[in-house]
């Protein structure tokens, strides 16, 4: 129990570090915090919401892959590559056998941390975007 809890928090911190690194890269691209408070809030909202969205998309892709939705693509690419390798045709297998072999592996789900961190970053970014629209967005003319 203690070991699992420690592993969860390590994965959580790694996910948080990745999201924070993505946010810092976006802050750097947009010029960090140099202008007035409205622009700073917009930069902060962009960095957090983009990193959250990227983590959520990654978690969704891991879920889709875990369920086997991409097995057809990997099977086709594998067989296409085996076609160009001498003697590779002998290694080809039926899709049914390939799917059974791939799905029989124990696929533990470690994407809960990615979902949580992505949702937190995305929610905070959306909240900051709403605050920016209420306080600083005005249409001229």
DSSP letters spanning 68-112: TTTHHHHHHHHHHHHHHSTTGGGG---HHHHHHHHHHS------H
Instruction: For residue 141, tell me if it sits in a domain.
Output: no
Between CA 71 and CA 51 the distance in angstroms is: 28
Q: State the residue range of the domain holding 24.
A: 2-135
Give the pLDDT confidence score for residue 55 in this predicted structure: 96
Give the pLDDT confidence score for residue 88 in this predicted structure: 75
Instruction: For residue 140, tell me if it sits in a domain.
Output: no
Tally of structural domains, the chain: 1
Give the pLDDT confidence score for residue 128 in this predicted structure: 96
Give the pLDDT confidence score for residue 139 in this predicted structure: 74
Query: Which mean pLDDT values do the consecutive 10-residue runs of the chain (141 residues) have?
Result: 85 94 94 82 94 95 87 89 82 85 72 92 97 85 57
Q: Which residues contact 133 (CB under 8 A, 6 or more apart)?
A: none
Between CA 47 and CA 19 the distance in angstroms is: 9
pTM: 0.79
């Amino acid at each position: 129990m203690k070991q699992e809890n420690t592993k969860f928090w390590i994965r959580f911190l790694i996910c948080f570090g990745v999201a924070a690194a993505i946010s810092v890269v976006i802050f750097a691209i947009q010029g960090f915090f140099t202008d007035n408070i409205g622009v700073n809030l917009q930069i902060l909202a962009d960095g957090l919401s983009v990193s959250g969205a990227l983590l959520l998309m990654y978690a969704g892709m891991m879920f889709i892959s875990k369920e086997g939705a991409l097995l057809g693509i990997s099977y086709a690419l594998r067989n296409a590559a085996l076609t160009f390798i001498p003697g590779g045709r002998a290694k080809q297998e039926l899709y049914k056998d390939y799917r059974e072999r791939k799905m029989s592996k124990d696929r533990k789900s470690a994407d809960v941390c990615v979902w949580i961190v992505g949702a937190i970053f995305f929610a905070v970014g959306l909240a900051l975007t709403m605050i920016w629209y209420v306080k600083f967005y005005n249409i001229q003319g």
